[in-house]
Structures are given as structure tokens and as C-alpha cells.
Amino acid sequence: MVLRFAQTMACAAIFLAGTPSAYAQDTSTNQVATKTAWAVFEDANPKECWAVSSPKETVNSKDGRVVAVRRGDILLMTFFRPDANVKGQLAFTGGYPFAAGSTVNLTIDGSSFELFTNGEWAWAASVADDAKIVTALKRGTSAVLSARSGRGTLTKDTFSLSGYTAAVEDAEARCK
């Protein structure tokens, strides 16, 4: 788990260094394809490819009421990094620090998965869990990620999965 975490943190750092905002997904020079709601990126050094999307809907609530809050980039990604033997690793950033010790609930067309958190990032606990989630994402129509911020705000981010399969397969093929 520590190695997986270190690999993901390295991936996240590279992603954030090259893509500081969701807007950059459309303007970055390392974007190589768009597949409906998903973009595909590729970096050469280290070799890394990923499919990424922003939510189509976001709801923030506190004490049962919808509230307006400031959040950074909200992104759902699937990474491939051949040098680190990373194949289809899911990562989610909610645009805020998650509550300490909390988890993110990922629901894909009625199937639920739990992601562990650290700071502003969430991941599946194992390679096997990543594989199950990626399979569900490929078959699904939408993904909903529900989480709690360090300030107690509940968030619900809904992602379209239109184009996910094509994007993740493109990213994987580029990083073989």
C-alpha cells in the first residue's frame, strides 16, 4: 500500500505540475485526445498516460442545506505508468482536503466502492480494487463520488462516463 501511495503521489505531482486547472485539460500541449466527456493526456518523461474528466454536476451541503463553497479542481482520473508498473490506477481529487480518516464513496450505476483519502486525493486500496472499479466505469453511465471535507462540508460530484472506455483504452495503448 505504501508503494502504491508513493506511485500515486508521483503521478499526481506530475499531473498537477503539467495541468494546473480543469481548463488546462483543453489547452495543455500534452492532451492527445478527447473522447466525449473525457480527455487523454500523455507525458514522455517519465512515460505516463491518463484519462481525466471533470464532474457534470457538483452539490455541496452542510447541516442538510446546499451551500456555496470554494473548491479547487475536481477530477476523476485513470493512470498508466509503465516504468512504475501502474496499469489503470484510479485517482480522485475533490478540490479540498478530505476529513482526516474519512473515505470517499464511489457509486457507479448502483455498485459502491470505497476509496481511501490523504489530503486532497483519494484512491482504491489495491490493484484488484482498481481493476474492479475500472471495469464498472467502462460498463457504467455515471459515477458519483460522495465525500466530507475537513470543514465538514458534504460533497457529491457526478461524472459522465460517456467516452470513458475509449479514453482509458487510448491512454493504456499509448503507455504499453
Which residue ranges of the chain lie beneath pLDDT 50?
1-27
Rounded CA-CA distance 159/54 in Å is 7
Per-residue confidence (pLDDT) for residue 29, from 0 to 100: 66
- Amino acid occupying residue 88: G
- For the chain, give every domain's residue range: 2-174
pTM beyond 0.95, yes or no:
no
Rounded CA-CA distance 130/136 in Å is 10
pLDDT tens digits, one per residue of 105-133 = 999 999 999 999 999 999 999 999 999 99
CATH class of 2-174: mainly beta
